[in-house]
Structure 1
Amino acid sequence: MFGMENQPQLNSAETQERARQLLALISSVIPPQEQRQGSQYETGNSSRPTGSQIAHSSVQYEMARSFPGLFRNGRKRPSTSVSSRFASLSNKKWKPFDLSIFLLSSNDELTPLPSDELAFMQAGLGKRTVSLDRDLTHVELSRLLQATYPKMVELQDRWLLYKAGGGNGRRKMSAIPLEAEGYTGAMLRKVSGGGKSTLYIVPLQDELDLSPLPANAPEFALMPKASCKHCFAEMPLQMLALHDCKCASHTSPDLEIISDDDDDDVQFPEVLQTPVPVQMTEEDHCPQQKGDVQCPICGISFPVLLIEEHASHCGQRTEDTTSPERELHPETDDISCEEDVIMWLKSKVDTSKTFELCVSRDNMFERGLKLWKRNKKATPINPLRIKFLGEAGIDTGALRKEFLTTMVSGIEQRLFEGVKSKMPKYSVNDFDEELFRIAGEIFATSIAQGGPAPRFLQRWCYNFLVSGKLSLDQVRDPSLSPLITTVAEASDMTDYIADIMDCGYTGKIDMEHKENILRAIGLHVMTKRMPMLQQLREGLDLYGFSQVMQAKTEECRSLFVAGDDESVDSYYITSHLAPVMSERGCNKHHKETQILEHFQDFLHELEVAEPDATSEDITTVPSVMQWITGQAHRHLLLSDRQNFKITVKFDHDCHKMPNHTICYPTVSACTDTITFPVAHMSDYESFKNVMTTAIKYGAGFDRA
């Protein structure tokens, strides 16, 4: 200690200078790699890491073990900015995607039925699959669609893409809005869910022809083809599946080959020719069974199952034949009466699922309208099934008829006005809620599924539903407006000038122009109701009914226009009674005969009192019919009328309800059966009181 005090002390400048010299000497001797190792360890191979270095290494190891996504090999992963991520995504290569598209024939709001897809395919429309890129433009998309569907050239870009909603059957479609540059590949990929959803091409102002194309049409150029084993006609495989069902069942093994020399003597009614320009000539033919359907091109009759296939190739004949315009619905040619119309509608019911409604008897009409509109799981083209709230009844047809009877009657009172023949009420609220469209659907469903027909329309209303035009020869009908009757009988027009001008008449108002005034009033009344009738026609198109009405106007008229009174009367009920009587001559048989006579007198009394009935709760003959069978109308089909029976049973002892003072008749609408309690109907007055109470309060299935 004392010796060090005698040594000379170095100043700070000299100390720093010596330190620099020492570092320079070490750097010149130790290699760079050993220098980096020296930053972690002490000099020399035998040196050990310090405590701080061990702690730092263990911390890095624990962080990498706990957070492998953030740390890799003891080091934190370099962070990437959001912009760099999007830049990498934008540079990613876009793979083309497949999109399913379906070309419709006209501007329709609903998707086509699966059963109609084959008809679209045969016409060069229907479903196709195209491959799209992300950078596809609207112009390129239009060219691609025109190449896929040659018929789209006629549209001249007057089309939009639609997307169908959820559910089954015919679904409602909504238009896909265009972007500023139109439809693009990126947009369609997003809208279709990457190609998972089918998009529909809807013509806006045009209507494409649905007539079947020949097998060599350019629309079928890419489709795989095969030749028929029986008639050797080459056609696409999709068409061959349908053609085989017709050709194989009508082809005889003993085919007669006609030589070229006998071409002029061929009897076409005995053979079915299906010529195709390369593989088939007029020598090839298939025999034909008897039929009464006429080909619209050559005029020759063929079986119903073969007419479509024949007509699709008939236009390719080398013969000189005229080609008149084909009818839109050749299957309606067999309709010749009202019963044929009903049978045609029944054949259009799709039984793949059911259209189910659960309603209350207390407010059946209003609730029925709302539930009918809300139901999205099925459509009214499916069989209707009704369930009444709080009742155990199972619909086997009677509940459906009861519901349809109530709905048609309610529509007549709520949406139409008039005495006997009626026209739609001018109600903007009902029109805005689409109640007239629902009414049309209920009318078509009722006729097709056993309900009543709406036989209460005025003649001009039916003519407008059929043709879309007003009948000017009926504008003076007094039922259109009380003002028509008043003006027609007036000797001076001065008091009616304001009313006449409110009808849109702007001409001279005097007696000399009375005819023009009456026409103006009638046209005013009818034109106000045109939107309601147009909406009603949309509903009637549910089963394609409106098209049948256009093709068979007179055959369908009696289903809508008010004519002869077709309501149920006392004779219609009593003539179809089938009583289960006791042995003739016994006391029970005598009482049963009295009950039947009381029932007949009861119906006659109701029939006489009906014209004076003003209350809605009054008992009528149709209401008795509805109480027993579920329907208040005559059967529309003649076969149903002939098979209709009301089974009448008699309960003499009332064993089911012991120790009681009163008992009421019971009915089973499912089996059209009524049971009378004989002990409580000894005279007519007691019969009348018991029957009236039972009809008024015994419509449900909730009795014990």
Structure 2
Amino acid sequence: MTEQGGSSQKTNIESAVRVLLNCIQSERERPPSHQNTTAQPTATVPTSSRPVRPATVQTEMQRCFPSLYSGGQKRKRKSSDTPRVSAIKFMELQFCLQPENTDKTPKDEAVLLQAGLGRRTINMDENVDHTEISRVLLEEFPKMRDLRGGWLLTKASGGSGQRKTTPLPQGAEGYTAKVLKSSSNNGKNVIYIVPLQEKIDTTPLPFDAAEFARMPKNACMTCGKLIPLPLIQFHIESCGYNKDEFEEEADQTVVDHPAEQESDLICVDSCPICGKQFPAEIVAYHASSCGESFADIISTSTLPDSESSAGASFFSVDSTLHTRPSTSATLPVEDMPLGSRPVQTDDLAWKGIVSPELAADHYRRQWLQKKEDEPTLKIKLDIGEDVEEQEGTILNFYKAPYIDWARPFQAKLQGDLAIGDGVNRHFLSMVMHKLQHGFTVDFGNACGTLLFEGQPDHLIPSTSQVLAQNEMFIMAGRMIGHSFLHGGPRLTGLSPAVLHVLLGGTPQTATITLEDVADLDIKETIRPLFEDEASKNQCCGLTEDQRAAVNELALAWDLPVLTKTNRTWLLHNLLQHAVLGRNARQLKQFKQGLRESLILPLLESRPDTVLSVFPRQSMAECSAEVILDHIKWPDEGGLEDDGDDSGYSIDIKCRIMGYLRQFMKTVSQEQLKQLVKFWVGWEIPMANMKVEVVRAEYPTSSTCYRMLRLPGYYKSYSEFSVHLENCIATNDSGFGLL
């Protein structure tokens, strides 16, 4: 029965296939005329309608197998002459034009930006070739149009700071968009353009140059000029109120036409120095500059001959702040002392001076003369605030980057009427005193902040990581350089090992002693290794506790333990890491601050001037003999017969001067420094320190004129010394005034 069922099923299939084939054959053999008669026209079909197509094989196959034949008619292919429209894709890349052939990223992009170089963001087509890339770069950087010798594209590895660059790969056709996109990480990294054979000028361009044509511009509120927006922050620093020009114009207006201007002035005041009349609004500014010229006249006309000797200490050189040249000096140049002569225009003249002290002094005066026409650096310190707030103001002042510290400097004490160079000297003395002895601001040290620690003549930078993270040692370098350039106090007592590294030496070649170790615990741990060198088995002379402490310290610093053969090597490496290894980051920041303040070029060119910048502790000591040599004593003429109430007889003057000599010879070194600071504004004795006897209640001083005024009513030395000690102790709180 199974065979009969299968044969019947096969027969049915064959019958269906025959019927289908017959149907297909009949459709093919039917004439076309009969196809038109099958259509039944209706009234709603227009005459222009297409005739109904007869059923075809495709229709039958679609009816039988709808899932396989449901595509309908084929889509018409678009004509080949119709252009295909595709969207153009752009990529955003960052380029930076370097001024010369170098394998490092630029250190200061601000200089490059002002010169028309630097970093730019450029949009390029994703299919550009080498020719199009060159065209776009020449259009964006006009200085590349005259560049000869070719250029190269480089990239830098990840990280921050100045990094090493590597060239971009090139194909047979040069640079392509694919290379730029992959090398810049889709535009995230900067591509550097490096000239191969020529050096591009980095002189700042005028603001209307072609390099800045595409930049948005904004008007400066001071001068009204249109400044490119990326450069306006640099323009603000150099565009300020020119006080010198205003004073010169005021001098000419008031002096040349006094009769015409007198009636127009609401309030007129006289300068206490030159006697000329000025508007009350500007008399304070004029008195400041007039006082500086007056002090220069006195110092240049009466300096002792000993000041010009080559062997004189740099502390004896007149250290007046030369913020502008004196126009009233009448001495010929050849008659002036060497320290007060005008600086020569030759930039390298200081290198040929034999004396290191005079070379350093010439170097700083040369920079002051170069920058005398630039805007003045100004700082206002409120003496009514507490010490921490004052220190915060000082730190903020020296934290500002891109400052030319050789520019003229003006400090003002809010709450004190003092003006002139004396205030500048007082400010620099305060800064260097805090740098030497520590700030009150607490950075987590629980008892103030000491940037340099250790014993005298062996000071090293603090190993505090908090200070390094806050870049305190960059500010320390700026403070030292700023004070040096303006003739102020120096930082004394640095370790010779630190000075060796600052001069370009390596830590491995530095001479380090046990006194250079500032940490007392580490010093006591290493001290047993300094015992008698005669014994070859020195490690056997150590106790078990001492050897365990040395081994623990060595293992903590990734050094091997102490053995009989490595004692000398281990001692040297322990000292090197304790003095120079733990504060390598601090030393790097310190060198950066010195470089920004123009000190490091002097030390690198003239290493013999290092003691002029960083003197030993003994060189900074202030003796009574040194101070007495710088004092200009009162004239013997006296004023007892001229009717002046302030005049005293010669006997009274001699008695008071004797008290002053006795005071200098009996007080301590610290009190002597306080006296000099009370007298001239800082701890450095200066030429022509004047003293006079006046009718007053307490001793006072005029630091701008280096004048000490002592009352003449004292009958005993004890009363004189008590009053003078109390007065000189008020330097930090009231600028020497009670």
Q: TM-score per shorter chain, which class?
A: 0.5 to 0.7
Question: 3-state SS of the aligned residue for 2:662?
Answer: helix
Change (3 A) 1:210 1:559: farther
| 1:359–1:388 contact (8 Å) kept in structure 2 | yes
Match of 1:646 in 2: 689
Change (3 A) 1:693 1:139: farther
Alignment of structure 1 residues 611-690 onto 2, 5 Å: 620-634=671-685, 644-652=687-695, 654=696, 663-679=697-713, 681-690=714-723
1:553 deviation in Å? 1.4
Change (3 A) 1:179 1:511: same
Instruction: Please give the alpha-carbon distance, in whole angstroms, between the structure 1 residues aligned to 2:649 and 2:127.
Output: 89
| Pairing 1:693–2:726 present | yes
Match of 2:633 in 1: 579
Match of 2:622 in 1: 568
| Pairing 1:354–2:376 present | yes
Alignment of structure 1 residues 224-373 onto 2, 5 Å: 333-334=351-352, 336=354, 337-349=356-368, 350-351=371-372, 352-361=374-383, 362-363=386-387, 366-373=391-398
2:366 alignment partner AA: S
* 1:642-675 alpha-carbon deviations (Å, 9 max, x no partner): xx111212114x4xxxxxxxx1111001110111
1:630 deviation in Å? 0.7
1:575 alignment partner AA: D
| 2:478–2:596 contact (8 Å) kept in structure 1 | yes
Change (3 A) 1:208 1:201: farther
Question: 3-state SS of the aligned residue for 1:467?
Answer: coil
Match of 1:110 in 2: 108
Instruction: Please give the alpha-carbon distance, in whole angstroms, between the structure 1 residues aligned to 2:562 and 2:159.
Output: 53
Instruction: Please give the alpha-carbon distance, in whole angstroms, between the structure 1 residues aligned to 2:466 and 2:396.
Output: 18
* 1:36-90 alpha-carbon deviations (Å, 9 max, x no partner): xxxxxxxxxxxxxxxxxxxxxxxxxxxxxxxxxxxxxxxxxxxxxxxxxxxxxx9
Match of 1:408 in 2: 432
| 2:727–2:737 contact (8 Å) kept in structure 1 | no
* 1:199-237 alpha-carbon deviations (Å, 9 max, x no partner): 99698xx99997999xxxxxxxxxxxxxxxxxxxxxxxx
1:509 deviation in Å? 1.7
| Pairing 1:514–2:573 present | no
2:710 alignment partner AA: F
Question: 3-state SS of the aligned residue for 1:548?
Answer: helix
Question: 3-state SS of the aligned residue for 2:620?
Answer: coil
Question: 3-state SS of the aligned residue for 1:478?
Answer: helix
| 1:446–1:453 contact (8 Å) kept in structure 2 | yes
1:604 deviation in Å? 1.4
Please point out which of 577, 585, 599 is paired with 2:660. Answer: 599
Change (3 A) 1:703 1:626: closer
| 2:451–2:462 contact (8 Å) kept in structure 1 | yes
* 1:110-164 alpha-carbon deviations (Å, 9 max, x no partner): 35669996xxxxxxxx74999966537898697566965567846744499999x
Change (3 A) 1:129 1:207: closer
Alignment of structure 1 residues 192-231 onto 2, 5 Å: none
Alignment of structure 1 residues 522-537 onto 2, 5 Å: 522-525=575-578, 526-537=580-591
Change (3 A) 1:435 1:603: same
* 1:18-41 alpha-carbon deviations (Å, 9 max, x no partner): xxxxxxxxxxxxxxxxxxxxxxxx
Match of 2:480 in 1: 443
| Pairing 1:417–2:413 present | no
1:485 alignment partner AA: R
Change (3 A) 1:576 1:211: farther
Please point out which of 551, 557, 573 is paired with 2:605. Answer: 551
Instruction: Please give the alpha-carbon distance, in whole angstroms, between the structure 2 residues aligned to 1:677 and 1:519.
Output: 60
Match of 1:390 in 2: 415
| Pairing 1:426–2:463 present | yes
1:419 deviation in Å? 1.7
Change (3 A) 1:441 1:159: same
Question: 3-state SS of the aligned residue for 1:596?
Answer: helix
Instruction: Please give the alpha-carbon distance, in whole angstroms, between the structure 1 residues aligned to 2:434 and 2:200.
Output: 41
1:181 deviation in Å? 5.9
Please point out which of 120, 125, 143 is paired with 1:135. Answer: 125
* 1:457-516 alpha-carbon deviations (Å, 9 max, x no partner): 111101111215115452344332343333313821532334323242633424553212
| Pairing 1:484–2:521 present | no
- Number of residue pairs matched by the alignment: 439
| Pairing 1:590–2:651 present | yes
1:443 alignment partner AA: I
1:344 deviation in Å? 1.8
Bigger mean CA offset, 128-137 vs 430-439: 128-137
* 1:523-582 alpha-carbon deviations (Å, 9 max, x no partner): 221211211111000000114432332222123344225264233221222222223345
Instruction: Please give the alpha-carbon distance, in whole angstroms, between the structure 2 residues aligned to 1:305 and 1:580.
Output: 39
| 2:473–2:586 contact (8 Å) kept in structure 1 | yes
Match of 2:550 in 1: 500
Match of 2:594 in 1: 540
Unaligned residue ranges in structure 1 (runs of 5+): 1-89, 118-125, 164-177, 192-198, 214-303, 307-328, 611-618, 635-640, 655-662
| 1:592–1:650 contact (8 Å) kept in structure 2 | yes
1:335 deviation in Å? 5.1
1:424 deviation in Å? 0.9
Question: 3-state SS of the aligned residue for 1:626?
Answer: helix
Instruction: Please give the alpha-carbon distance, in whole angstroms, between the structure 1 residues aligned to 2:526 and 2:497.
Output: 16
Question: 3-state SS of the aligned residue for 1:474?
Answer: coil
Match of 1:61 in 2: none
Instruction: Please give the alpha-carbon distance, in whole angstroms, between the structure 1 residues aligned to 2:191 and 2:427.
Output: 36
Bigger mean CA offset, 536-545 vs 378-387: 378-387
| 2:428–2:488 contact (8 Å) kept in structure 1 | yes
For the aligned residues, what is the CA RMSD?
A: 4.8
| 1:493–1:510 contact (8 Å) kept in structure 2 | no
What TM-score do you get using the length of structure 1 for normalisation? Answer: 0.53
1:353 alignment partner AA: P
Unaligned residue ranges in structure 2 (runs of 5+): 1-85, 139-143, 162-178, 203-343, 438-449, 518-522, 532-537, 641-647
Instruction: Please give the alpha-carbon distance, in whole angstroms, between the structure 1 residues aligned to 2:428 and 2:474.
Output: 16
1:412 deviation in Å? 2.2
Match of 1:298 in 2: none
Identical pairs, percent:
14
1:401 deviation in Å? 2.0
Question: 3-state SS of the aligned residue for 2:411?
Answer: strand
Change (3 A) 1:593 1:200: farther
1:688 alignment partner AA: S
| 1:664–1:690 contact (8 Å) kept in structure 2 | yes
| 1:424–1:533 contact (8 Å) kept in structure 2 | yes
Change (3 A) 1:346 1:209: farther
Change (3 A) 1:136 1:330: farther
Match of 1:285 in 2: none
Change (3 A) 1:672 1:333: closer
Please point out which of 478, 481, 498 is paired with 1:461. Answer: 498
* 1:301-322 alpha-carbon deviations (Å, 9 max, x no partner): xxx999xxxxxxxxxxxxxxxx
2:704 alignment partner AA: C
